[in-house]
Amino acid sequence: MTLRSGKLSCPSKYFLILIAIFFLGCAVTGPGGRKSLIFIGTDTEVNIGKSMDNSIRKDNRILSDTLWQKYISEIGQKIVSVCDRNDLQYHFAIVDSNIVNAFATPGGYLYFYSGLLRQMDNEAELAAVVAHEISHVVARHGIKRLQATIGVSLAGQIVFGKNPGVLEQVTNIGLGLTFAGYSRANENEADNLGIQYMTKAGYDPKATLTMFKKLALLSKDNPDFFEKLSMSHPDTQERIRRSETLIDSLQPLSSNLHLFHEKYGIMKSRLH
């Protein structure tokens, strides 16, 4: 994809962009206080996410079941309450589709396909996917990749909001990147954070393993789902091994961790 170079030719505008980078940069990105250069601030990230959400809602059918909407939001908020990023609101939606998938956009917009919900057998398995997607937002994987793709000039234009057409351009690029999938390193980080968050939120993290195993079996027929992540056999096995090691490191686990099997069964029966 070729990007227009933009209209910011005046050196003083570039200077302003550099000043903005200086002030907005170095956002904290999760446990351990690791920092990285983020020059698209949270307000702009949320605007981009909102714009992507509008587009996603136009192109997909959102499940209208209010009980399911409430349920997925409750699961999400439980995990949000223990996660490392609370400078934005998280939004949870269910896409009414047989596709087995879930994804997150920058700015805290998260989507779960009813095809995925049907494959899960307890709330903790779904919480593992929810926690994984929240972790991509916490670690700012989407916005980092977007700013790396659009470059300083376009990012500067969207930060300063001078050109209304730029938001649409950046939205389209963001959507393309979202459906292209993340790097292996990003996936590993989201797996690790997700397991920690779901455990803190009171879910049994071992549900992550049953969830991965289930998706691995399904991927034999369809290797291109769950964020378009390649779920080929060795990769999935590696993810399961890494997750097992992390869960072992969290021992001893609290005896008050749950799967919520029955409650999930009732909700699952509402899906057609």
Q: Smaller CB distance to Zn ion: residue 53 or 227?
A: 227
Does residue number 195 form part of the binding site for Zn ion (CB under 5 A)? Answer: no
Nearest residue to 198 (alpha-carbon basis) of 253, 123, 127:
127
Nearest distance from C-beta of residue 104 to Zn ion, angstroms: 8
| Stretch 144-183: interaction string toward Zn ion, x if CB under 5 A | ----------------------------------------
* Span 11-70, contacts to Zn ion by CB under 5 A: none
Site string for Zn ion, 226-255 (x = CB under 5 A): -x----------------------------
Q: Does 104 bind Zn ion (CB under 5 A)?
A: no
Question: Closer CB to Zn ion, residue 190 or residue 259?
Answer: 190
Kindly give, in sequence order, each residue whose CB lies less than 8 Å from that of residue 195, ignoring residues fewer than 6 positions away: 128, 131, 205, 208, 243, 246, 247, 250
Q: How far apart are CA 105 and CA 149, in angstroms?
A: 15
Instruction: Give the total of residues touching Zn ion (CB under 5 A).
Output: 3
Write down the least CB distance from residue 103 to Zn ion, Å. Answer: 8
Angle at 93 between CA 122 and CA 257, to 5 degrees: 30
How many other C-beta atoms lie within 10 A of the C-beta of residue 53? 19
Residue span binding Zn ion (CB under 5 A) among the ranges 85-93, 107-115, 150-158, 184-192? 184-192
190 touches Zn ion by CB under 5 A: yes
Residue 180 CB, shortest distance to Zn ion, in Å, is 12
CB neighbour class for 179 (10 Å; exposed up to 12, middle 13-18, buried from 19): exposed
Burial (0-12, 13-18, 19+ Cβ within 10 Å), 100: buried
Amino acid identity, residue 189? E
Q: Which residues bind Zn ion (CB under 5 A)?
A: 187, 190, 227
